[in-house]
Structure 1
C-alpha cells in the first residue's frame, strides 16, 4: 500500500469548497484513495471521494493528513490528491 502525507493549505481546512474539489477529483480516479489523521489506524481511514467524509475528518489549515492507495496507479492518484490538498483554494 502506498502512503503519503499532505499538509492542508486551504485556510478553511478541508471544508466546503476544498473538500468538494478533492472529492470530485478522487471520484474521477480508477484507484480508491483514503484519508486519515497521522497516528490513526489505516482501517479507520475514510474515502477521499466523499465530501462528507472529508469534512467529518475535521482537518484544519496546516494540519497533516495521511493519504493511502493500493494497486495500479496508486502513486499517481496519491500525487494528484496531495497536490489538491496542498493548494490554497481560498486564494
Structure 2
C-alpha cells in the first residue's frame, strides 16, 4: 500500500542540518520506504545527503510517499516533524 501527503515546511531555515537530521532519523526509524519530493526531484527520505540536496526552504511544499501498511501513521509522524519550526529557541 502506498500513501502520499503534501506538507509545507515550517522550519524558518528550511530543511538544513538540525531539522533535516530529525526528519531523516524519523524516516529511518519508520523502517519502511519513504520518499520526499520537491518539484521534479525525489530522494530517499532516510538519506541525509539526499534530503539536504533538495534545498528545501521555509514555506516550500514537499510530497511524502510511504510504501507500507501503516503508511498513514508514518505520514502523520513525518508531516508533524516537517511542519514544526525546529529553529525557534525553546
Say whether the fold is shared (TM-score over 0.5): yes
The 1-side partners of 2:52 and 2:31 are apart by 22
The alignment of Structure 1 onto Structure 2 pairs a total of residues equal to: 87
CA RMSD of aligned residues (A): 1.1
- Unmatched segments (≥5 aa) in structure 2: none
Q: What SS is found at the alignment partner of 1:28?
A: helix
Residue by residue over 1:10-48, the C-alpha shift from the partner in whole angstroms, topping out at 9 and shown as x without a partner, is 11101100000001111111221100024x3xxx52111
Runs of 4+ off more than 6 Å:
none
**Higher strand proportion (structure 1 or 2):** 2
Contact in 2 for aligned 1:31/1:73 (Cα 8 Å): no
Q: Tell me, in whole angstroms, the C-alpha distance in 1 between the residues paired with 2:46 and 2:13.
A: 19
**Correspondence for 1:52:** 49
CA distance in 2, matches of 1:80, 1:33: 12
User: Secondary structure at 1:13's aligned position in 2?
Assistant: coil
- TM-score, reference length from structure 2: 0.90
Residue pairs, 1:29-40, within 5 angstroms: 29-38=30-39, 40=40
TM-score with structure 1 setting the length? 0.89
